[in-house]
Amino acid sequence: DADVTQTPRNRITKTGKRIMLECSQTKGHDRMYWYRQDPGLGLRLIYYSFDVKDINKGEISDGYSVSRQAQAKFSLSLESAIPNQTALYFCATGQGTYNEQFFGPGTRLTVL
């Protein structure tokens, strides 16, 4: 969805490096999410935020941190990347009673 953008789209980094993945949205949604996708494991929630002052851990938050700089921006950081964090990362926004989610195009991260 063009209204949710992620940068970079691809990143190769080395073990121990700090890396930040950025997400921006023009949908005006308050809810934002970070997921990782691994083959056979589906989409797993890392962190989510309902507004700038509200940050919550998801099911797999260890090794990750986030920052909600504004309503439109939600960044995911890996403080010290490790190889098992190699995955496809998606940012999403949510709206409505049933929280329809709108996903960005994803960032493919490889940690060597």
Site residues, other proteins (CB under 8 A): 1, 4, 31, 35, 40-45, 48, 50, 58, 90, 92, 94, 97-106
Q: Residue 84 CB: number of other CB atoms within 10 A?
A: 9
Nearer to other proteins by C-beta: 49 or 85? Answer: 49
Tokens of 71: 């309503």
Closest separation between CB of residue 36 and other proteins, Å? 11
| CA separation for the pair 47, 64 (Å, rounded) | 8
Nearer to other proteins by C-beta: 3 or 79? Answer: 3
| CA separation for the pair 37, 25 (Å, rounded) | 20
Nearer to other proteins by C-beta: 54 or 79? Answer: 54
